[in-house]
Structure 1
Amino acid sequence: MEKAKISSIQLFVLMVLFEMGSALLVPLAIDAKKDAWLAILIGMVVSLVLLLVYHKLYWYYPDLLPTEYVQKILGKVAGTILALLYIFYFMYDASRVLRDFGEMLLSSAYPETPLFIANALLMLVIIYMVRKGIEVIGRSGELLFMFMFSLSVVGFILIVVSGLIDFSNLQPVLEEGLMPVLKVALTQTLYFPFTEVIVFTMILPYLNNPKKAKLTMMCATGLSGINLILTMLINISVLGVDLTARSQFPLLSTVQTIQVADFLERLDVFFMLGLVIGIFFKISILFYAAVIGTSSLFKVQSPSRLAYPLGLIVLFISMSIASNFQEHIHEGMKVAMYVVHLPLLVIFPILLLLIAFVKNRKKTTG
């Protein structure tokens, strides 16, 4: 581990930016139709339980990275295999978000630019920042969070002033009952974006005040959830369910409809900046976790040396992950949820906590 510390405020800011990241882009929980906001709310509430699991593991091993304490819990061989799985997951998730960024940029602003160029430029900046360490990531997050928050407030005011909101698009609530909403919550929104914060277990050992970890994580998830609920409520009330579902990037479509006093329009460029900031930090945190996880697992003295080779791997995975954007979204929302997210974000952490509980109980009683 590098000798660095971040404050609880920096952790809070990074978590909010991370959770909102690519989740603002896509029509989140749209399979629940008008009740998408409710599916996000349920997913957020259930994720708080898993957040307590992640925090308890950190509480048992406050000075160790997860790649180190899984070896203490499971033994050297099984622990190393699981640690490798998590490192691969962080890189895979980073490549998925990088692909989201490239597709958004190309479809919205630079249709003639090759996807590789867009992804490579962002990856170079991320590699540079990750090489500087967690303190630089934390301070950058504090600085850009205020800019993104200001954009959100201005955007909300402009949408309200434009008179675009039609609450009838949100009615009736629970038209098809509660079961479809629960299904979406437990198969989609629980994992994306809420339990993806398992990546922060790689950053918690750098926290300068460990006692504030639980409250900070809970508050960050709560604020992110409220923001995502508001975003989907606005998208559906402005565009309607059908248009929101058909749109690749509904938030951008919503912002494009803003027109105030016949001169304030085409504001989507400003909001693309906000989306890019969120995506930038989400990839940076996932990539940073992969770099320090790899360095701790293979005893590499200088983690920054790994940034370039691992960055290239993330870049090439983002290019080869799917042949088009529809395939990429299908893989993320339907395949990865069960194959990757369910075992790594839910099943394994609970099993690890049970084993750690038994082992630590033996120590205290022995």
Structure 2
Amino acid sequence: MKKYAYNEITSMQYIFLNSGIQVSVFFLAMPRKLAEKAGTDGWIALIIGWAITVVASLIVIQVMKKHPEGTLFDLIARYLGKWAGRVAAIFFALYLFYYAYTGLVEAVLLTKAWLLPQTSASTVMLLLLIPTYVIARNGLRVLGRYAELVFMISLWIPFVYLFPLKDAHWLNMVPLLKEGWKPVFSAVPTTFFSYIGFATTFILYPFLKNKQKASSAIMISDTLTMLGYLFITVICFVYYSPDEIQKYNEPVVNILEAIEFNFVERMEVLFIAFFLLIFSMAWIPAIYMGVFCTSWLLGKQDHRNHLRILWLFTAVSTFFFIPTFNQRDRMNDFLIQIGFGIEYIFPGCLLVYLWMHDRFQWGKRLGTSGSFILYSSPRLSSSLRAAVTS
């Protein structure tokens, strides 16, 4: 019987969960950050970052194939010992909690700046945490269905962003590589911030119904993320001039001011309210998987008590402190650093270790079993054994 059969998710739910974690609040400023590094050639850095992310994601899948019915912590406990598994669970829980908190802070600051400027940050945080608890308490299967729902009701958004193209200046995109490859490569680390989140596969993998499709599912997920970022980045690049786009903190929001309908006065306000639904796919899965780590650490099956403690701690702490926009930027920079280490470097190192471990153990077992067969089989003559051993 599968250990995690109760909360199994389909490949489609896994795709939407992984892509939803990646496409979060941070994409609002992505066109500006790419323009600051590489100008209108920044879209090329997105494709390079996508290729690197796909490779790293496939490495994660290869690691999890070593222990398909367990999470990363079960795998590490099997290969490195129980305490190593617990240390890994602690680090991943802290990373996921930090990831979720940065997403919540971004959402709170965005809501206060555009929607509810007179509302306190603690009230906004509480309004976001209530649906977070309702969804996360019901387990991964409900979370997968929520991801499907969010994706389906968001399919109309790209069509609205086509309206500003009537005032687009496509000459902004040419010539390609205006200053060579160096600015493009310098912008690639910025794109990693857009793709981090795929390491949740370390936890999601044992819940997959069809693990044979895990590699193709994660490639589709990363590609969906890349296409979304590429679409909105190109639209911003052709609408704004290379210098103008750098004046806006969130050009993805500001470009909505160019869209006018008779029945809507401020389109950007309506979109930000809807964006919160999409952005919730960043912190809700991260919070759930974070409390999953702490529950695994203590050997508990029910994660809801840990979720309540985290919920209460986050809600109360907001009354005393909420990061500013400058502090948020520093938090995001730190998240990029630890995210790159955990999601891009760690899986490769772990795969190399597992390969060396299995190869060494296989050689050791082969030597032991070969010696046993050689010296215990009555069918081998003494001359043959002497010839083989020599």
Q: How far apart, in 2, do the equivalents of 1:52 and 1:156 lie?
A: 32
**8 Å contact from structure 1 (residues 26, 248) kept in 2:** yes
Q: How far apart, in 2, do the equivalents of 1:183 and 1:299 lie?
A: 44
Closer/same/farther in 2, CA of residues 63 and 221 from structure 1, 3 Å limit: same
Per-residue CA distance 1:35-64 (angstroms, 9 max, x = gap): 221111111111111011111111111111
Find the counterpart in structure 2 of residue 32 from structure 1.
Answer: 38
Closer/same/farther in 2, CA of residues 204 and 54 from structure 1, 3 Å limit: same
Q: How far apart, in 2, do the equivalents of 1:65 and 1:268 lie?
A: 41
Q: Does residue 1:47 correspond to 2:46, yes or no?
A: no
CA positional deviation for 1:263: 6.5
Structure 2 stretches of 5 or more lacking a match?
Answer: 366-390
The equivalent position to 2:132 in structure 1, one of 126, 131, 156, is 126
Find the counterpart in structure 2 of residue 211 from structure 1.
Answer: 212
Could you tell me the TM-score, scaled by structure 1's length? 0.90
Closer/same/farther in 2, CA of residues 231 and 17 from structure 1, 3 Å limit: same
Find the counterpart in structure 1 of residue 167 from structure 2.
Answer: 164
Segment drifting more, 264-273 vs 77-86 = 264-273
Q: How far apart, in 1, do the equivalents of 2:270 and 2:325 lie?
A: 23
Closer/same/farther in 2, CA of residues 242 and 99 from structure 1, 3 Å limit: farther
**8 Å contact from structure 2 (residues 29, 250) kept in 1:** yes
Find the counterpart in structure 2 of residue 287 from structure 1.
Answer: 287
Q: Does residue 1:14 correspond to 2:12, yes or no?
A: no
CA positional deviation for 1:322: 6.8
Q: How far apart, in 2, do the equivalents of 1:330 and 1:245 lie?
A: 19
The equivalent position to 1:341 in structure 2, one of 339, 342, 348, is 339
CA positional deviation for 1:320: 7.9
The one-letter code sitting in structure 2 at the alignment partner of 1:156 is Y
Q: How far apart, in 2, do the equivalents of 1:299 and 1:212 lie?
A: 30
Closer/same/farther in 2, CA of residues 341 and 16 from structure 1, 3 Å limit: closer
CA positional deviation for 1:137: 0.9
**8 Å contact from structure 1 (residues 19, 224) kept in 2:** yes
Q: Secondary structure at the match of 1:148?
A: coil
- Identity between Structure 1 and Structure 2 (%): 22
CA positional deviation for 1:341: 2.0
Find the counterpart in structure 2 of residue 178 from structure 1.
Answer: 181
Report 1:53-132 matches (<5 A).
53-132=59-138
Closer/same/farther in 2, CA of residues 271 and 193 from structure 1, 3 Å limit: same
**8 Å contact from structure 1 (residues 95, 315) kept in 2:** no
Per-residue CA distance 1:310-344 (angstroms, 9 max, x = gap): 234455677888741123123313x3333x12321
- Name the Cα RMSD after superposition: 2.2
CA positional deviation for 1:183: 1.9
CA positional deviation for 1:364: 4.5
Q: How far apart, in 1, do the equivalents of 2:242 and 2:315 lie?
A: 34
Could you tell me the TM-score, scaled by structure 2's length? 0.85
**8 Å contact from structure 2 (residues 73, 86) kept in 1:** yes
Closer/same/farther in 2, CA of residues 111 and 83 from structure 1, 3 Å limit: same
Q: How far apart, in 2, do the equivalents of 1:141 and 1:168 lie?
A: 38
**8 Å contact from structure 1 (residues 34, 241) kept in 2:** yes
**8 Å contact from structure 1 (residues 35, 181) kept in 2:** yes
Closer/same/farther in 2, CA of residues 64 and 320 from structure 1, 3 Å limit: farther
**8 Å contact from structure 1 (residues 235, 254) kept in 2:** yes
The one-letter code sitting in structure 1 at the alignment partner of 2:181 is L
Find the counterpart in structure 2 of residue 245 from structure 1.
Answer: 246
Q: How far apart, in 2, do the equivalents of 1:218 and 1:143 lie?
A: 21
The one-letter code sitting in structure 2 at the alignment partner of 1:168 is L
CA positional deviation for 1:284: 1.0
Find the counterpart in structure 1 of residue 303 from structure 2.
Answer: 303
Closer/same/farther in 2, CA of residues 217 and 182 from structure 1, 3 Å limit: same
Q: Secondary structure at the match of 1:152?
A: helix
**8 Å contact from structure 1 (residues 96, 318) kept in 2:** no
Q: How far apart, in 2, do the equivalents of 1:169 and 1:327 lie?
A: 33
Q: How far apart, in 1, do the equivalents of 2:313 and 2:73 lie?
A: 20
Q: How far apart, in 1, do the equivalents of 2:65 and 2:214 lie?
A: 9
The equivalent position to 1:144 in structure 2, one of 143, 150, 157, is 150
CA positional deviation for 1:90: 0.3
**8 Å contact from structure 2 (residues 18, 197) kept in 1:** no
